[in-house]
Structure 1
Amino acid sequence: MTRVLITGAASGLGWALAQRFFAGGADVILVDIDRQRLLERAADLAAAAPERIHHYAVDLTDDKAVAELIAAIEADIGGLDVLINNAGITHRSLACQTDMAVLRQVMAVDWQAPVALTLALMPLLRASRGQIINIGSMAGWMPVLGRAGYCSAKAALGQFFETLRGEIAADGVSILMVYPSFLDTPIETNALGGDGRPAAHKRSTVGSIRSAGWMAERIVTAAKKRERRLFPDRLTWFSSLLWRLAPDLYQHLMTRKLASELEPR
């Protein structure tokens, strides 16, 4: 039986992934900071097969809480086959109008937490010759106005795990980096403003906004094939290519498409 741990599992893409892995026969370990929503989600799945559901309410930026989570997984489950680092937050605010506390929070959740959790779970993943799936973003490859902190965190995530990939290749642990574009998930609904309060303006987007279910299906398919990277649509792939080959053109197009981000708030 495949054992899959998903962070940020109580909503959005994390919940869509939990449903699909569970439907595929996996034991699913749900991890989220929202205890009430987590209990509801666990109950939804447990109605069909309670023995295949485990859930832990954890603040992944709390080192002590993460250590307790690792101990619980070892005691309750005994191993792990797939780790999905999905939990994340974002902000919508210009860099010069964003408190450092907000930038630190985004970096802590989107980079530090998945790195710390992965390293702590590495013995279990090595034992199972398992798989790590990281939900990155096209913002990790190219700049996006109003998301300087988010872009930085996702870029750091990609660089860390691409380096780790080479270091653990001999252990049989594979890494899938997922680079979605704009998704219809609560991460944007709950985006922070520059002062740490909820962002007051709606997000600017480019291209189609995909559903969490659409994205989850593609991730599950890529995971089965043990793929290394997933650019799920042509816009994501083309934008990353444009940024690398013609960065000035990309900057011009981005500024035009996301001009509303530059308006006074």
Structure 2
Amino acid sequence: MWCRSRFGDARGGREARRGRGVGKVVVITGGAGGIGLATAWRFAREGAKVTLLDVDAAALENARAALAADGHEVRAIPCDVRDAAQCRAAIEEVVSSWGGVDVLVNNAGIAHRSLFAETDEAVVRRVMDVNFFGAVHCTQAALPSVLSRGGSVVAISSVAGFAPLVGRTGYAASKHALHGFFDSLRAEVGGRGVHVMLVCPSYVDTAIDRHALGGDGSAAAASKVVVGKLDAPADVADAIVEGVLARRALVVPSAVAKYAWWLSRIAPSVYVRVMKQRQGPEFGLTS
């Protein structure tokens, strides 16, 4: 039971208990696809008003149109989360139109796949700009409204946010940074009625790894390694929404991710050995 409460594994299901989000205003970055879009559908089915932010304007409009066609209240605002001014403008538009922000889901992210010794610094900076500073920009813009409404701030992290991962040093750094930032933010604003939650999936069936950057910033070759079955974005979205409704601090939504959590804490050297056995050969690491 402690594990269930700690990790937030309870999933209400996409057909369970409608209406718990009626009237709530939800903003989701990286909302045009993957986990972001699946989360938008789940919140919308709970009755929430959803705003999607994404840098891909065409995919964003397709997502908005699909949700609207199903009868949901939805807005779409093109936004590059690396630009703090764009984030402020987007949040201001939501507040002006719908009165405030109840839930911010910081989901926008990119990945890279290359050994650090073969990775340009610009690649690491780009990953940090999207994954970490993008979340900082949107949170800073939305926090006054979230504070006034006793709402939630969510950050989509990863197993790489609490454990090492070879071939993705910049990605892991960006996700570890989210934990330091949002755990500290929780300590600052939790007593003022704001819920802050980190979500740590394992491998999810989205485009993020397929579109990963290589060490020189070009597209990386397709990964040959998958640890366990890919999680469905809809399952992760279920866990996110249930976690928000239950106001959990941490959601680790799959068996593989939970295994990584426990092993990396109980026996960190064993975790590194197992992880390198599975991930290392892709990068020529044999020990």
TM-score (norm 1): 0.95
2:17 paired residue number: none
Instruction: Report 1:197-216 matches (<5 A).
Output: 197-216=218-237
User: Which of 268, 271, 274 in structure 2 is aligned with 1:247?
Assistant: 268
Instruction: Report 1:119-138 matches (<5 A).
Output: 119-138=140-159
1:179 paired residue number: 200
2:31 paired residue number: 9
Matching residue's letter, 2:258:
W
The reply to whether residue 188 of structure 1 matches residue 209 of structure 2 is yes
Deviation at 1:178, TM superposition (A): 0.6
How many percent of aligned residue pairs carry the same amino acid? 38
State which drifts further: 218-227 or 150-159: 218-227
1:163 paired residue number: 184
Distance in 2 separating the partners of 1:8 and 1:203: 25
Aligned length: 263
Deviation at 1:260, TM superposition (A): 2.3
Deviation at 1:245, TM superposition (A): 2.5
State which drifts further: 224-233 or 105-114: 224-233
User: Which of 120, 123, 143 in structure 2 is aligned with 1:99?
Assistant: 120
Asked if the contact 2:43–2:241 (Cα under 8 Å) also holds between the matched residues in 1, the reply is: yes
Distance in 1 separating the partners of 2:94 and 2:227: 40
Distance in 2 separating the partners of 1:154 and 1:176: 14
TM-score (norm 2): 0.88
1:20 paired residue number: 42
Runs (5+) with no aligned partner, structure 1 = none
Matching residue's letter, 1:29:
T
Distance in 2 separating the partners of 1:177 and 1:110: 13
Runs (5+) with no aligned partner, structure 2 = 1-22
Matching residue's letter, 2:56:
D
Deviation at 1:203, TM superposition (A): 4.6
Deviation at 1:67, TM superposition (A): 2.4
Cα distance 1:41–1:201, how it changes in 2: closer, same or farther (>3 A)?
closer
Which string of whole-angstrom CA distances, capped at 9 and with x for unpartnered residues, describes residues 96-145 of structure 1? 10110000000011101101210121110011100111111000111111
Asked if the contact 1:145–1:261 (Cα under 8 Å) also holds between the matched residues in 2, the reply is: no
1:58 paired residue number: 79
Distance in 1 separating the partners of 2:232 and 2:255: 16
User: Which of 73, 81, 104 in structure 1 is aligned with 2:94?
Assistant: 73
Matching residue's letter, 1:192:
L
Asked if the contact 2:108–2:130 (Cα under 8 Å) also holds between the matched residues in 1, the reply is: yes
Cα distance 1:154–1:181, how it changes in 2: closer, same or farther (>3 A)?
same
Deviation at 1:70, TM superposition (A): 2.5
Stretches of 4+ moved more than 6 A in 1? Answer: none
Which string of whole-angstrom CA distances, capped at 9 and with x for unpartnered residues, describes residues 135-156 of structure 1? 1100011111111001000000
Distance in 1 separating the partners of 2:205 and 2:229: 10
Distance in 1 separating the partners of 2:88 and 2:50: 19
User: Which of 26, 30, 34 in structure 1 is aligned with 2:56?
Assistant: 34
